[in-house]
């Protein structure tokens, strides 16, 4: 069944309030969980569901995306009969970049037409989950739906922003808010849509002919009464990461073993670009508790309730609490940090004291020296 599905990861105008974390990269390549990027979760879910052709519609700041994805080898998408395609925007000027996703789908319509797959799943990268798309397709066919929207019943979004959905009888979508309006519902859209490829291409052409170019607002929401739009209710872990607070809170959820296990291994493993590093080294005086520590770290101080990416060095007497320190960060001797997010290669000098709060973590941009 999975070879009937082609994958589209849509990064056009992806919602982004991640401030310093997306100053030089797109949402899809924001580092997460010690050694991963956000796009790894959607991409791995597709591969584990047997989807062998995936297109990533890049938009802006995609240099790190190209570097991370490469040939698709780490996701086993580099064989002749399968493929990972990164499709940059076809833009003559800045006004083309401002156009919606349907415009960019239209520019690459040959990609869709060349695929043998009958169905397409269109996703975003900021929805953190591990999902089996073959089950979504099976329910799509069983309900004879025109479009299936993957949804989750969830009251606490850990400060992420999501589109709410209202369901009628038999799981039919009867209302869907535009962005983050006032719809009263505890069901949110995971921004994953399954439909026939032909229907998607029809929606692209008919919407653009009317001067409208947004997939959800113009092609799906406006046809709620005409089309049979069905909700597939996902049961697993969902993190919605499009604000700094949601990034911080979902990262801290990983310190719960059941969340870690469910997100990274069920129903299949999450893959990422592999980098060879030696194991973490704990020197005399090192103390760690309830933390994720990646390979290549050197710990001489104390780490509590924190996430350390590859190659982080915690020097003697330094205390790190409730914090996220990305690749190659250095925390100087005797420094104390609490509730912070440090991007790659941040250096903290000797004896510094830096504190944020759970709902407003202190953020340091890449390569900053404090």
> What one-character-per-residue DSSP string does 83-121 give?
EEEEE----SSHHHHTS-HHHHHHHTHHHHHH---SEEE
Residue with tokens 């996220």: 324
pLDDT digits 0-9 by tens, 353-365? 999 999 999 999 9
Element (H, E) at 364: strand 362-364
Distance CA 32, CA 192 (A): 21
Structure tokens at 6: 């082609």
Q: How far is CA 151 from CA 61, 85, 102, 146, 236, in A?
A: 29, 27, 22, 16, 11
Distance CA 367, CA 172 (A): 49
pLDDT in tens, the chain (370 residues): 556 999 999 999 998 899 999 999 999 999 999 999 999 999 999 999 999 999 999 988 999 999 999 989 999 988 766 689 999 887 766 777 788 899 999 999 999 999 889 999 999 999 999 999 999 999 999 999 999 999 999 888 788 899 999 999 889 999 998 876 678 889 999 999 999 999 999 999 999 999 999 999 999 999 999 999 999 999 999 999 999 999 999 999 999 999 999 999 999 999 999 888 899 999 999 999 999 999 999 999 999 999 999 999 999 999 999 999 999 999 999 999 999 999 999 999 999 999 999 999 999 999 999 9
| Residues present in the chain in total | 370
Distance CA 9, CA 192 (A): 9
Distance CA 211, CA 103 (A): 10
The reported pLDDT for the residue numbered 96 is: 75
CA end-to-end distance (rounded Å), the chain: 54
Distance CA 221, CA 11 (A): 19
The reported pLDDT for the residue numbered 21 is: 95
Average pLDDT, the chain: 93
Dihedral over alpha carbons 325, 329, 39, 104 (to 10 degrees): 120
- Return the closest-CA partner of residue 338 out of 292, 312, 302, 293: 302
The reported pLDDT for the residue numbered 155 is: 83
Residue 186 neighbours by CB distance under 10 Å? 11
Residue with tokens 């900021």: 126
Q: What percent of the chain has pLDDT over 70?
A: 97
β-sheet with 353-355: strand ranges across: 287-289, 302-304, 319-321, 336-338, 353-355
Distance CA 283, CA 44 (A): 35
Indicate left, alpha or beta for 361 from its phi (over 0: left) and psi (-120 to 50: alpha): beta
Helix, strand or coil, per DSSP, at residue 193: strand
* Phi, psi for 49 (deg, rounded to 5): -90, 5
Instruction: Confirm if 81 and 33 have CB atoms less than 8 A apart.
Output: no
Start-end of H helices in the chain: 39-48, 63-69, 94-97, 101-107, 109-114, 133-142, 197-209, 244-253, 257-265
Q: How far is CA 133 from CA 36, 121, 130, 246, 330, in A?
A: 21, 8, 10, 25, 40
Q: Is the peptide bond before 109 cis (omega within 30 degrees of 0)?
A: no
């Amino acid at each position: 069944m999975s070879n009937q599905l082609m994958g589209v990861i849509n990064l056009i105008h992806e919602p982004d309030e991640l401030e310093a974390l997306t100053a030089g990269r797109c949402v899809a390549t924001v580092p997460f969980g010690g050694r991963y990027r956000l796009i790894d979760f959607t991409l791995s879910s597709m591969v584990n569901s047997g989807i062998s052709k995936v297109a990533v519609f890049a938009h802006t700041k995609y240099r790190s995306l190209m570097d991370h994805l490469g040939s698709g080898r780490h996701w086993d998408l580099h064989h002749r009969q399968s493929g990972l395609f990164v499709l940059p925007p076809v833009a003559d000027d800045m006004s083309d970049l401002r156009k919606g996703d349907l415009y960019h789908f239209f520019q690459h319509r040959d990609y869709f037409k060349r695929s043998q797959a009958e169905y397409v799943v269109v996703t975003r990268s900021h929805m953190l989950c591990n999902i089996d798309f073959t089950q979504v397709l099976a329910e799509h066919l069983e309900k004879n739906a025109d479009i299936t929207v993957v949804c989750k019943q969830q009251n606490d979004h850990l400060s992420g922003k999501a589109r709410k959905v209202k369901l009628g009888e038999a799981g039919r979508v009867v209302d869907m808010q535009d962005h983050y309006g006032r719809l009263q519902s505890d069901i949110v859209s995971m921004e994953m849509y399954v439909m026939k490829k032909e229907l998607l291409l029809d929606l692209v052409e008919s919407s653009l002919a009317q001067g409208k170019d947004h997939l959800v607002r113009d092609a799906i929401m406006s046809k709620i009464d005409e089309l049979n739009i069905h909700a597939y209710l996902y049961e697993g872990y969902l993190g919605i990461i499009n604000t700094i607070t949601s990034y911080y809170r979902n990262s801290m959820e990983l310190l719960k073993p059941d969340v870690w296990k469910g997100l990274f291994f069920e129903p299949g493993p999450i893959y990422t670009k592999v980098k060879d590093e030696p194991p973490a080294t704990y020197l005399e005086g090192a103390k760690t508790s309830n933390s994720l520590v990646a390979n290549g770290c050197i710990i001489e101080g104390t780490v509590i309730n924190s996430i350390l990416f590859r190659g982080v060095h915690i020097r003697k007497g330094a205390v790190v609490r409730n914090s996220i320190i990305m690749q190659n960060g250095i925390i100087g001797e005797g420094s104390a940090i609490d509730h912070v997010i440090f991007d790659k290669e941040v250096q903290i000098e000797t004896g510094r004291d830096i504190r944020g709060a759970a709902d407003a973590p202190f953020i340091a941009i890449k390569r900053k020296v404090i």
